[in-house]
Structure 1
């Protein structure tokens, strides 16, 4: 296609992706009440666990509307992800080779479930973090938490842990592309474990050792799984190279 045709194709894909996000946003707006109840559950539990008043506060006249709009957009992006991911894929596929297409499909099929699993893990440790962080306040005080700040905290936590679960898949993709060898991955295991521990220590409060290890263990397992898959790929690649070299030898 010419440059003009590419631009028309790009505009068409963008329009469909945005339309999907808008439709998903309407669904998110309708579900915002239930989502707010689920989000506020860890804060409400503070009253029972710590014996003091705790609540989400809307400190600005438009904060309640802004928060519902943020929730709607977030849910819209998540719900419509098959639509806009397909639009990106459909725009890029004509320019990819067969092998690159296979790598891309494999990456999407493994990265999406791992990302969702990471988000689920982040959601699981959320109540522990809320309870622990608010417990540092004196017992005779009231926990009044800004609703918008709290939502941003939850969103960043869940997405950060979700992305962390996808990183091992990126290592495998780099290995299959010939950029990173399995030896290089295994050689850096000490650094990888240290980074994982530091990340989980930051993502979860330092005093909450249980939640930290709850996140660190599956991430370490994923790292070694990625290294093992890369090792199998390098071994198969080496065998193919040996066979090819032997066929070049003239008897």
Structure 2
């Protein structure tokens, strides 16, 4: 039986229609690890410019299509035993991870995308101050202060988890010797008139969902993510007004707010 070409899994649909098992297609930077897991692996120079390693799951067109259609997820536990990648995969299977708020898990996952290409296949004890300093400096140059700050924050939290797994020395994270640059605080201020004009502009341009998000955010002071996640089930009626009862994403505390008559009409429309 002809060998299946791994490149087909990443080819455009137009190319896949004419693909034949005996075709020899070599996709640049596509590599296979452990004989069956595919990765798009940039060169060190590309990583420095901001490119990232991408896990493509089990190699082969059928597995790739299953992943694209949501029927299968890529393996997360394909790293060497007791490596940093293995430790993170183990942590994501623990109840401690599952009990974290969704936004916190999202922050970890975003930070992990910048840790994985550099350190995932290494033991935690092999990560030195020099390696972390070089990694952080590259992130600052390629991604800026905000991304570098969040990536370092994820590393420090993950180090504590790995220390709990007895994979490294507790309270000896070498990154603590690096002084992080802190992102500038948010300083933008809007007046009610500006908010109203933004709502009207979005509505007239056809972005009616966005108009409602802006209006509800102005009335409630909810964060954008809290507003975007609102559903009709959370709407509650009072004597003359109605509003939303939610559980705040980060704190987990309940909050109830009412909407102004203008925003009520907007959302109902």
TM-score, L = length of structure 1: 0.22
TM-score, L = length of structure 2: 0.21
Structure with higher strand content: 2
Structure with higher helix content: 1
Bigger relative contact order, structure 1 or 2, given CA contacts below 8 A and separation 6+?
1
